[in-house]
Chain A
Amino acid sequence: MSIAVRNLTKLYDGQAAVNDISFDVGTGEILGFLGPNGAGKTTTMKIITCFMPPNAGTVEVEGLNISDHSLEVRKKIGYLPELNPLYMDMNVLDYLAYSAELHGITGAPAQQRIREMVGVCGLEEVRHKDIGELSKGYRQRVGLAQAMIHDPDVLILDEPTSGLDPNQIVEIRNLIRQLGRAKTVILSTHILSEVQATCDRVIIINEGKIVANGSPDQLQRQFHGGEGLTVEMKSSVKDPLEEITPKLRILAYVNNVTLSSHEGQITRFDINVDRGQDVREAVFRLAVSEGWVILEMNRKITSLEEVFHKLTTS
């Protein structure tokens, strides 16, 4: 186990920002930390990175307790804080050299490492520029490069793609995937597609508590309340509620049918189906036999968005 968090609690003015949470992260795993703003993601990360101690509970990183072996733990962690703070007046190479030096890497090994990071993070073109002159995407790469300059076992990335444009998000995401192969990574985000694209496992936290923990697929299966089908059809039926709904409802696996609109000859239904069942064919055959014309049929699978929404709103 690379990171073991046990019964972690952090209070701010008596209010629990993190409330008795426990979880493990395996070596080489990419863990996504999901939750609304203020859920306790950043607080948890600040504790793991030894920025501040918890009020209760323990964290072990690679078997080392964060309060007893703070300096050793910090050596093993690469950290990209929220908002990616950087020294705007330093140029990229100087900044990376400084970061390396603080990790005790100097001289030829440092030069070697810096070259590698500049290459991996795609910083060649801007390496002599001041960080203040760089675009947000490049700054984020510099942030990642400094986090990895000492080849840490653990990477902690707090919202690594916030504020980037869609192209940059894809680039940074690929970079994290690529770098994360050999490392344990915890990244926080509130962009759900990011979790699906990058993470092996997701922990959803809300109001300081863990409300879900599993792979993106698992969570989808665990928390969705059945699949849905939207059907739009054309028919000469006068009262669809009387003449169509009951016929749809008696189809196998159909739980519920609701009429969502009826204008002239066009009628729309939302059909709720048992989990994992596909009733499109049955609906089609029924429509043919009744002489209804299907204009549109759309299958809905509960997305991680919906899981998230369900779990984080009460």
Chain B
Amino acid sequence: MTMLQFSNVLAIFRRELRSYFNSPVAYVVIVVFLAIIGWFFTSNLFLMNVASLRIVFELVPLVFLFFVPAITMRLLAEEKKSGTLELLTTKPVRDIEIVLGKFLAAWTLLAAALLPTLCYLISIGFLGSIDTGPVIAGYLGLLLTGAVYIGWGLFASSLTENQIIAFILGFLMILILFMLSRVLMYVPEGLATTLEFLGIDYHFANIARGVIDSRDIIYFFSLIGFSLYLTTVSLERRKW
């Protein structure tokens, strides 16, 4: 086995990103995303007189729950349905390169959707002072959380030809990750600590507090790695 060919990843990444921005879907999803976040931020700002990004950091993972499956659902399902995946996998490209290229494209789109929320940061800067550390950490946490969600959304998309099913499957997988640390009061105490550690919230909260602990980073990266591994295996299912 030779090394990963980064130029292949890049080719797939670029095509995928262009395809996002060639269709209205990306714009619609980004606008809806920003509208929801913006509405909460401004109502917080004007009604409650709180100039804080906390609401953004609390809300975004919840909105991602819908946003991410919407941007990942087509990534592989569409290519399976149209047959272009057959053409792609008979090019001199490894399956993992396909998976990585698509993952990175969706992640870039997610980052692009987050970018305009920096306006809130600037508006807060006018009104008061910004605690830079936690803000950077918070955004890092959002990007990592988004990456984990995208990994599982991509895996869901590899399981079916139907984009609607891919959306629902992706949503359910992400929902499980999202809910794990929110059902702690209903489970026995012994299980609670394990669940808390498995849930994404716990690690996001750690990072958002501004504490960047290697355990949290390892948690995020292993979840991402595992989902991408499963996606690759799922692509190879044609060979079974």
Do B87 and A81 touch (CB < 8 A)? yes
Q: Is B37 an interface residue (CB 8 A)?
A: no
Do A89 and B23 touch (CB < 8 A)? yes
Q: Closest chain B residue to A101 by CB distance?
A: B11
Q: Is A136 an interface residue (CB 8 A)?
A: no
- With A53-B239, A89-B22 known as contacts, the answer to whether A79 contacts B7 (CB < 8 A) is no
Interface residues of A in 98-139 (CB under 8 A from B): 98-99, 101-104, 106
The proximity string for A residues 265-276 relative to B, scoring 1 for CB distances below 8 Å and 0 otherwise, is 000000000000
- With A83-B83, A85-B82 known as contacts, the answer to whether A99 contacts B91 (CB < 8 A) is yes
The proximity string for A residues 82-105 relative to B, scoring 1 for CB distances below 8 Å and 0 otherwise, is 110111111000100011011110
Q: Is A250 an interface residue (CB 8 A)?
A: no
- Looking at chain B, what size class is its interface with the partner chain? 20 to 34
Residues of chain B lying within 8 A (CB to CB) of residue A81: 83, 86-87, 90
Q: Is B43 an interface residue (CB 8 A)?
A: no
Whole-angstrom distance between the Cβ of B3 and the nearest chain A Cβ:
12
Q: What CA separation (Å) do A79 and B22 show in the bound complex?
A: 27
Do B83 and A85 touch (CB < 8 A)? yes
Q: Is B19 an interface residue (CB 8 A)?
A: yes
The proximity string for B residues 41-60 relative to A, scoring 1 for CB distances below 8 Å and 0 otherwise, is 00000000000000000000
Do A89 and B19 touch (CB < 8 A)? yes
Residues of chain B lying within 8 A (CB to CB) of residue A98: 11, 15
Q: Is B84 an interface residue (CB 8 A)?
A: yes
Q: Closest chain B residue to A95 by CB distance?
A: B15
The proximity string for B residues 91-103 relative to A, scoring 1 for CB distances below 8 Å and 0 otherwise, is 1111000000000
Cβ-neighbour of B86 out of A51, A89, A101, A104 (below 8 A): A51
Q: Is A140 an interface residue (CB 8 A)?
A: no
Q: What CA separation (Å) do A297 and B233 show in the bound complex?
A: 66
Whole-angstrom distance between the Cβ of A144 and the nearest chain B Cβ:
13
Cβ-neighbour of A86 out of B84, B89, B93, B239 (below 8 A): B84
Residues of chain A lying within 8 A (CB to CB) of residue B23: 89
Do A74 and B86 touch (CB < 8 A)? no
Q: Closest chain A residue to B88 by CB distance?
A: A102
Q: Is A77 an interface residue (CB 8 A)?
A: yes
Q: Is B234 an interface residue (CB 8 A)?
A: no
Cβ-neighbour of B90 out of A53, A79, A90 (below 8 A): A79
Q: What CA separation (Å) do A71 and B11 show in the bound complex?
A: 17
Do B94 and A71 touch (CB < 8 A)? yes
Q: Is B117 an interface residue (CB 8 A)?
A: no
The proximity string for A residues 35-54 relative to B, scoring 1 for CB distances below 8 Å and 0 otherwise, is 00000000000100111110
Interface residues of A in 156-187 (CB under 8 A from B): none
Cβ-neighbour of A49 out of B22, B82, B84, B90 (below 8 A): B90
Highest count of chain B CB atoms <10 Å: which of A46, A86, A87, A89: A87
Q: What CA separation (Å) do A87 and B90 show in the bound complex?
A: 16
Whole-angstrom distance between the Cβ of B79 and the nearest chain A Cβ:
8
Cβ-neighbour of A103 out of B22, B92, B238 (below 8 A): B92
Q: What CA separation (Å) do A87 and B14 show in the bound complex?
A: 14
Do B11 and A102 touch (CB < 8 A)? yes
The proximity string for B residues 61-94 relative to A, scoring 1 for CB distances below 8 Å and 0 otherwise, is 0000000000000000000001110111111111
Whole-angstrom distance between the Cβ of A84 and the nearest chain B Cβ:
8
Do A87 and B19 touch (CB < 8 A)? yes
Residues of chain A lying within 8 A (CB to CB) of residue B11: 98, 101-102
Whole-angstrom distance between the Cβ of B115 and the nearest chain A Cβ:
24
Do B86 and A102 touch (CB < 8 A)? no
Do A74 and B83 touch (CB < 8 A)? no
A residues in contact (CB < 8 Å) with B: 46, 49-53, 71-72, 74-75, 77, 79, 81-83, 85-90, 94, 98-99, 101-104, 106, 146
Could you pull out 5 A-B pairs where Cβ atoms are within 8 angstroms?
A: A79-B90, A85-B84, A98-B11, A104-B7, A146-B87
A-B contacts besides A71-B92, A74-B90, A102-B8, 5 pairs, CB < 8 Å: A72-B92, A87-B15, A89-B22, A98-B11, A106-B7
